[in-house]
Chains A and B, each alone.
Chain A
Amino acid sequence: MGRSSKDKRDIYYRLAKEEGWRARSAFKLLQLDHEFNLFTGVNRAVDLCAAPGSWSQVLSREEKVEKGEGGEEVKIVAVDLQAMAPLPGVTQIQGDITKVSTAQEIIRHFEGQPADLVVCDGAPDVTGLHDVDEYIQAQLLLAALNITTHVLKPGGTFVAKIFRGKDVTLLYSQLKIFFSGVTCAKPRSSRNSSIEAFVVCQNYQPPEGYVPNMSNPLLDHSYDVDFNQLEGPNRVIVPFLACGDLSAFDSDRTYPLQLDAGKQYQYTPPTQPPIHPPYQQACHLRKNNLLSREDAPTDCPNQSRDQDPSADNICLNDSHCLRS
């Protein structure tokens, strides 16, 4: 596998690097915006599970375009548990979206004002077990929805990644409690072969008397096991909308490296390599041939538990430099 082999396989990966996005998912938000005009009138936006930060990049770039030079200053807050490389114009909070303190910090950055838009492109580290991944993704979406109820203004918009699996109708029904308009959207930059889609929830209208509460996850009340058995018209299914121009690149297709005759292909390195991936220490050991092996004479390295992995040993071979 050459270093350009992924460029051949994945056109959006290549374009993302060429246009300076940190991940190809930037195109997904751009295509969603194209269809829903998500950024119109938005002054305060929150990016949940932001790392590596491509959606924050889109938010800050597009908002600038939208407002022009003289417009009101747009505030963008990016929240992630992991560290993220800094982005100009984006305030970062390294925190847990299931904590009230995180919600409070977001509001503090907005000087007490609620957010106009909350986006979440978080996905679990895919384990390869489909139902586990689907379950974790659903939990992540509900956690994002929960913190959103703390920070979003009535009438605001919430966009999140969803896996269209077995329990998807349950998620739809929970979203419909809080938003009057829920649409399932699939940008064309998201592969047909992926079960991923995005829910665009417009017009936040919490039920009367609803008090946001982190410790009592809102999923419980409707976790009715009979719910999923409903048939026909009783099922909650939200409308579907494919986003993005039909003339856009087909994400399932391979394209030649040289796209137009005039421009010579040149390899572009990833915009932002990952910071502190979980496998960093393991990769460092492997690179230095320190992984324990059967015939290795020496003991495996026995680190103390509070050792801080040094930041200069990022293993680029293994990193998913750009998340999909």
Chain B
Amino acid sequence: MCVCLSVSKITQKASVLNLSPVVPGPSGLTPSTESTVYDLVVFGGKAVRLVRLHVDQQHLEARGPLVELQDWALDVRWLSGDGPPLLCVALAHNRALLLDANTRTPLFQRSCVEGCLLYSTLLLVHQSWADTVLVGGTVFNQLVLWKPGEEGGGSEHKAPVQRRLLGHSGVIFSVSYLQDEGCLASASDDRSVRVWGVGALGGPGGSCGDPDPVCLRVLYGHQARVFSVRLAPGQVFSAGEDGACLVWDGGRVIRTLKGHRAGGVRALAVRVRVWRVEANDDRMGKVEETAEKLTDLKFSGDGVPKVVCPADEDDSDWSQSGFVVCTDLGSVYRYRNGLWGLVWRGPSDFQSYCVMETVSVRVKSSWVQICAVGNLSGSVFVFPVSHPQSGILLNAGSGKIHSIIWQKDEGGGFLLASGAEGRVHRWCVQVTSGESCHLVLSALPLPGFLLPLCVKRWLTGAVRVRSGPQGALWVCGDRRGSLLLFQEKDESNTDDEEKERMEVTKGGLTLEPTSVLFGVHGKQGVTAVTACAGLFYSTGRDGCVRVFRVRQTKPDHRENKNSILEPETTEEEEEEEEEEGMMDNLDEGTFKQERLLAVPCGGGHRSWTLWPSLKGVWPGYGALVFIKQGALMASQPPGPTRTGTTGWTLRDGVHGRGVGCVRRLGRVGPPEGLWEVAVTGGEDTSVAVLAVRPDSGAVRVLAVLTDHISSVRTLMAVTRPGGGADGDGTPSLSAVLVSAGGRAQMQCYRLLIGWDRQRAAPSCQVIQVARHRLDEQWERKRDRHKMVKMDPETRQVQGLSNRNSSGWTRRPVCRCFSVSFFSCCRLFSICETKHRIDLLWESFHHQRCVLSVATSERPRRLCVSSRVLLLFSASTDGQVSVWDLPPPSSSQTPPLPCLSFPAHQSGVNALAVWTEEDEGGCLVTVASGGDDGQLTVSVMRVQFPHEASRGTSSTSEPLNRIQVRLRSQARVPLAHAAPLTALQTVRPGLLVSTSSDQRVCLWRVGGTGVVHRGACTGVKHTVCGPEPDHLRVWFWSVGGICEAQKLH
């Protein structure tokens, strides 16, 4: 017996392995005679293939070759009758085909009289070909029903249309049928879903249903095109380009499910009450269950709640332990056992504005909640929630208290109140149990912090760690997105003189940060800072979690011992919800980077609090309480009868959208199982470090970097020459990675890729080196909407590492050459120790978009100061320019190119360069691939007058330039049928080209010109995507044999 898999649209590639997670639809998998083996048919494009699934071994085995069809397959179904396995195939020109699955030969085919193109098809099959009914959604916005197996006539005879459903005003992308209710649903470009009453379709005899079908419902709810629709009893599920999946009941949306990041949802499969699987553009499968409800806690006090904080005294139940809220009238209420009670009514100066924070303090054997409320005039009232009468009033300057932060300590805590003008006031608050169970609070003022100058100058997160004898360290994050390090002098260790001085200035003395990482979390600000196992973690509203280490400097001099903050790694945290830094949860999550909790809060709230799972209430879950539009809401905890909201992602896409660029770094791992390591950059603004097993095709994501604010267009990597090795000889990698993309942003990282023996997997450490944005000052300009930003995108980056004899590691300076869409070439230097990227020069010579850059190296013998010989840039007018590299400290005037020559009719998409030695100079060969499909190989001769005359001439002739002359040019006008998108040199004289015609060609360049050496076509190796630079060929080259691999 056989089964049919309805394959989602994203697999419409002639490849079986591209199959994304597909869960059986309502039809289910019918077990074959051996219950654990299934025969599947997978289709896409113009091909169909049979695959055998061994459930026990979780193994897919291809059966027979790819069956190529003359037209696109839109739907394929198994006929359920006895006899040889038969496949019914619906083709795009409204034609159906009966295929013998064993012989893979067509038995019948039949067209419909309506011969127009279909966008979607649904085959309703039964036992025989004669029972088959085809529902097609035509390019002319109609649904047509016809019977391909109708009696009479040969295959030349065209079948008549049985039913025609009119109503849509756009093409139809998806059709679904529900037997039980006799309903047909269609999803269209006109953003509507229509449900039609058609009666019984298909089945024995192939019924075409009611003679006069009617449109039962028109469902408008999507904001963009509807790509997919599925029917379930009583419900309609639709998904579209707006990324939402809507659940309809009786013409109403009863649920909106969102979870896909970008590009819209393409396909949908529904299994009622169990699964809902979507696959979409971001190459991600997502399963969601029906949503959980939010509860309104019905705040009953006076005023409107503004701030909510936890106040759990016991580790029991959240509804008993409760929480406190502060209202706009300055009153603090407590929620406990489902009831509201007034705790403290603040004086009039606490009205209209307040900040509040709570902390749990252990006094003797019980927990005490201490609450601190700050107001507009610099007062902070600190009180135990249980005994507000023993509260104390503290003064923190005269201005507004922006934020309050508690840091737990033994017997109390440190209280930080961020006041006006960047002053952070600090106290050490101690709680003691007085007589008759009274709690006594005492606050010892500590030297305050002074924050660096910026507009939003207040703290948003702080953590304190003791670090040896010289005192404690504070790592703080501010609203400007900066991370600050303060060093607290331990009073017990300071000498008397200093102690005296501190006595005098106590309260007035402020500490300034010893180290600042300015704006690392962007303008949106830091949300939380925490420390764990020697590392610091910070979260920001930029959606990132950053990991830091505090490094000691000048260890030889005790008094001046300083610590600086050093970025260690950046890791991504998807901020699926509008929550800020769930730090307690995060410590577990950082390694696996999995989402622990998401609450559909709907946004619009200013204050929230979370009971994390650590309290042991519900393992793995927490409850979220938040204020939304003046009401207090609690996310219902998942109880035993869970109707939980949490959808989960089956397989996350490496990139949400298209992959823009690929770079190979090298290989790591033991010799018997090497992993190839590559970096990809995508339109979803992220950079992913991937490890790929070439033999099995297994892919592992080692790190995801999300520092870019626009799509990542290009990557450049310089690996340590010769590679490195661990102590035991396993190869490891160290590379400098530069990524660049939209908004003229560049990021530089140091990647350390090694082999984790315990986990038997590659590991990756990312150190952020530097960042650069040309248009940083642009954001501060007034009236910028009236102007054109001159530098929207960086197109390509080429590295020119200074790998001279003095050693690359000791001079960690590398330079890179970048071009952008605004006709500009730029040269940057990157200094790894200074964490800086500097612009060395720029040139607007091209006047048109510069599409590609390349560099050439000096032959080793002629290696003098720098190995870089020449730079090449090419633009949309087909011109290639050759630049002499200026010395790093050269004058500000940008040089003119030494040579400029036409190479193509239109844009030059790719350049590849190699150098050969020649008498008295060298020969540089530039291969270029253009939009015109041409491959041009230009050879130029380079002479070094500077070096030739070195002995005689003095250094007073610094302008003695390299001489470059074009010697010959060879062209292959029609190297590809479509734009050539990428070129790579396998070795000097051997080139690989790729094109959007999905072919990879190998070329030999010699004295006699350019010779075509072979090609592989898109069928076996689908190599190139339609966009230029969509991907690059990856190869493992051994003597000219190249193996290309497609990523995505």
Contact = CB atoms under 8 A, between A and B. Distances in A.
B822 A168 contact: no
B777 interface: no
Interface string B114-144: 0111000000000000000000000111000
22 contacts: A125-B171, A128-B241, A129-B9, A129-B10, A129-B12, A132-B12, A164-B977, A164-B996, A164-B997, A165-B996, A168-B978, A169-B977, A235-B977, A241-B905, A250-B877, A253-B821, A278-B191, A279-B170, A282-B222, A294-B255, A300-B251, A302-B251
Contacts of A263: none
B979 interface: yes
Given A292-B219, A302-B251, 10 more contacts: A131-B13, A172-B977, A220-B70, A223-B70, A228-B1019, A239-B973, A252-B849, A252-B907, A253-B821, A306-B167
Contacts, number: 217
A275 interface: no
B786 A257 contact: yes
Interface stretch (A84-92, A107-115, A188-196, A204-212): A188-196
A256 B221 contact: no
A182 to B, nearest CB: 12
Interface stretch (A38-46, A68-76, A134-142, A152-160): A134-142
B12 A293 contact: no
Interface stretch (A20-28, A59-67, A283-291): A283-291
B974 A229 contact: no
Contact of B789 (A254, A301, A305): A254
A223 B823 CA distance: 43
Interface in B854-877: 876-877
A27 to B, nearest CB: 15
B557 to A, nearest CB: 54
- Minimum-distance CB pairs A-B, first 7: A278-B170, A282-B191, A164-B978, A242-B905, A292-B221, A305-B167, A192-B907
Contact of B931 (A81, A172, A192): A192
B140 A96 contact: yes
Contacts of A132: 9, 12
B167 A291 contact: no
A86 to B, nearest CB: 21
Contact of A136 (B45, B117, B250): B117
Contacts of B9: 129, 132
A128 B72 contact: no
Interface residues of B, number: 97
Contacts of B70: 220, 223, 225
Contact of A281 (B46, B190, B254): B190
B218 A195 contact: no
A299 B169 contact: no
A262 interface: no
Interface of B: 9-10, 12-13, 45-46, 68, 70-72, 92-93, 115-117, 139-141, 166-167, 169-171, 173, 188-192, 194, 214-215, 217-223, 225, 241, 246, 248, 250-256, 263-264, 266, 281, 785-790, 792, 821-823, 848-849, 851, 876-878, 905-907, 909, 931-934, 973-974, 976-979, 996-998, 1012, 1014-1015, 1017-1019, 1025-1028
A134 B1026 contact: yes
Nearest to B47: A225
How many chain A residues sit at the interface, stated as a range, is 35 or more
Contacts of B878: 242
Interface string A157-184: 0000001111011001000000000000
Contacts of B250: 299
Given A195-B978, A292-B252, A305-B166, A253 B823 contact: yes
Nearest to B248: A292
Given A166-B1018, A305-B167, A281 B1012 contact: no
A38 B141 CA distance: 35
Nearest to A96: B140
Contact of B68 (A195, A225, A237, A279): A225
B379 to A, nearest CB: 41
Output the residue of B115, B848, B906, B973 with the most chain A CB within 10 A: B906
Given A165-B997, A253-B849, A229 B1019 contact: yes
Nearest to B169: A278
A193 B1027 contact: yes
Contacts of A223: 70-71
B254 A294 contact: yes
A311 to B, nearest CB: 13
A171 to B, nearest CB: 10
B906 A164 contact: no
A36 interface: no
B253 A302 contact: no
